[in-house]
Amino acid sequence: MTGIRRGLSVLSVLLLAALTACGSDSGAPAGRSLTVYAAASLQKTFTDIGARFETDNPGWSVDFTFAGSSDLVTQLTQGAKADVFASADTTNMDKAAEAGLLSGASVNFATNTLVIVTAPDNPKKVASFADLAKPGLSVVVCAPQVPCGSATEKVEKATKVTLDPVSEESSVTDVLTKVTSGQADAGVVYVTDARGAGEKVATVDFAESSAAVNTYPIAVLTTAADAAAAKKFVDLVTGDAGRKVLSQAGFAAP
């Protein structure tokens, strides 16, 4: 009798294990991820929007790679896999399109404008874009191939002011860091970056920035593992919820 009981006990364990295994193979996957390549200036807003996406789509997570738009396009053309690409300008999105990386047309979702940032209280008394060319002032800008750098060059042409930066950075967040860390007296960044830095910087607006407004496009990539989910993320960014987050950060409508 004892042997029979032991046999039944073993059989029960085996049946339970089999049922558990079958149950784990059915239904939706335990977790899925979306990979988004986005311009460095979108880090705060997209992180917030990503959290909203995860809440709205249980079982999904959003993994971000933030960098200068030109660096991101280079990575994508060299074979990096992602589901969504958001650029800080249309030029780099056009490069992605020409390389056959886009699954459908891109959508413009925001615009951004340049400002000057200095140390708190503006100790060097920078009051205009022309002041950035004064001798003895250490200025940092984005590299020309980066959207914020390209926009800065447009302002230089419009104002006929030639800057002599101490460094040219690969992303706008690197420019901001140079200023907040005291490595530079002033830098040219986006309105959104200056706002995000809060009291760490003083902000100097200049009228000529209107000559170099950057438009931000977003698109689903051909390498998207789940095009429908990628489209959901794009729709969230371009919809009312995304627009609210972007507006609060200082981005203007496209």
209 is in an annotated binding site: no
150 is in an annotated binding site: no
Whether the Cβ atoms of residue 68 and residue 40 lie closer than 8 Å to each other: yes
Structure token digits, residue 99? 């390389």
Q: For the chain, count helices (H), then strands (E).
A: 9, 10
Residue type, 165: P
What is the spatial distance between Cα 114 and Cα 206, in angstroms, rounded to a whole number? Answer: 8
Nearest Cα to Cα of residue 215 among 72, 112, 142: 112
The CA distances from residue 206 to 104, 114, 120, 121, 135, in Å, are 37, 8, 18, 17, 20
CB-based contacts of 90, cutoff 8 Å, min separation 6: 108, 215, 217
216 is in an annotated binding site: no
Q: What is the DSSP letter of 105?
A: -
210 is in an annotated binding site: no
* Residues annotated in a binding site for molybdate: 41, 69, 172, 190
* Residues annotated in a binding site: 41, 69, 172, 190
